[in-house]
Amino acid sequence: MSDARLSGANLRGAVDLSALVRPSASPSSPAAGEDASGVVLAATDASFTSVIELSRRVPVIVEFWASGVEPTLPSLVRSYGGRLVLATVDGNANPQLAQAFQVSQVPAVAAVIGGRPLQLYVGALPEAEARDVLDQVLEVAAQNGVSGTVETGSGDAAEEQPEEPPLPPLHQEAHDAITRGDYAAAVAAFRTAIAQDPRDELAVAGLAQASLLERLDGIDAAAVRAAAAAAPDDVDAQLAVADLDVAGGHLEDAFDRVLDLFPRLAGGDRDRARARLLDYFQIAGPDDPRVPAARRRLANLLY
């Protein structure tokens, strides 16, 4: 990983994480490595919204750890003097974030820049190599207009956020279910919200996101990719890999995979592929520059 040059293009099509997490009224519990420097903080499923908001002005490094595997980056990130923030996450205690970042082992390191994830590396790197990666993250962040800093020594990296208005009851039920890893319950709650109000666009987007998390829950990514490679015309296998690509931020790859497959499909398989693409459009959001082109290509294939 440290040999590769990161590029600003890595963020194009990356899924904004904001819709996959929701702050909780309960305070986050301390994580290993958190201190009063203002640049090393704990993050949880419930508190990650503040990290996403912080990433819109300063790049945030996210390091997943677990019992017996302590974070490796606090000292290194402190040396950047507030140009980077480190969010440490207990991967076992925060399954929603582990799922969103596709963490299969720890330590695992990613970045969030402008609300969008960027996978970095798995395992512990020598300090010189890790610094090279972090330097590249700063370059990518600058290319994407994220080049702020945080004050060090304050003990609070993120500025105090105004209290958010409460969610509608079914939306809150869905987000609570996602937080505890019950994706089927989240899907059911969003479906009920849509049945009550078919124009509830937030519920439609939430259903697409919760459905993706439900499909990804417990899967073996390597096995899914191997199955797809062995059966290029198997719609289930190809849609499963497209799900992985969306979750990993490789949205254009997911679009191309399904759209390339689409002309070879008929009947119910064609309908399923179309529905999955529409879900991906909802997850990406209307402002993603990849969505209009994919919509046009889908329309041309349909008509």
Q: How far apart, in whole angstroms, are the C-alpha atoms of residue 137 and residue 139? A: 5
The two tokens of residue 104 are 């299969």
- Are 280 and 246 in contact by the 8 Å Cβ rule? The answer is yes
Task: Give 256-299 pLDDT, tens digit per residue.
Answer: 999 999 999 999 999 999 999 999 998 887 777 889 999 999 99
pLDDT at 30: 41
**pLDDT, tens digit (0-9, with 9 covering 90-100), for 214-227:** 898 888 888 999 99
CB 40 within 8 A of CB 77: yes
Fold of 169-302: 1.25.40
What is the pLDDT at residue 17?
A: 60
CA distance 241 to 258: 10
Instruction: Sheet with 40-42: list strands edge to edge.
Output: 40-42, 85-90, 60-65, 108-113, 116-122
Task: Output the DSSP codes for 206-253.
Answer: HHHHHHHHHHHTT--HHHHHHHHHH-TT-HHHHHHHHHHHHHTT-HHH
Cis peptide leading into 74, omega within 30 of 0?
no
Query: In residues, how long is the chain?
Result: 303
Could you report the per-residue pLDDT of 42-84, keeping only the tens digit for each?
Answer: 998 888 888 888 999 999 999 999 888 888 999 999 999 999 9
Above 70 in pLDDT, residue 28? no
Instruction: Please give the biggest Cα pair distance in the chain.
Output: 61
Asked if 116 and 285 touch (Cβ cutoff 8 Å), the reply is: no
Which of 8, 300, 33 has the alpha carbon at shortest distance from 139? 8
Domain 8-143: give its CATH architecture: 3-Layer(aba) Sandwich (3.40)
Buried b (16+ CB within 10 A) or exposed e, 77-99: bbebebbbbbbbbbbeebbbbbb
Phi-psi region of 28 (alpha: psi -120 to 50; beta: other; left: phi over 0): beta
What are the residue ranges spanned by the domains of the chain? 8-143, 169-302
Residue 8 has pLDDT above 50, yes or no: no
Choose between 185 and 217: higher pLDDT.
Answer: 185
Using alpha carbons, list the distances in angstroms from residue 165 to 24, 169, 172. Answer: 12, 12, 11
* pLDDT on residue 73: 93
Give pLDDT, residue 5: 46
165 burial class (0-12, 13-18, 19+ CB within 10 angstroms)? Answer: exposed
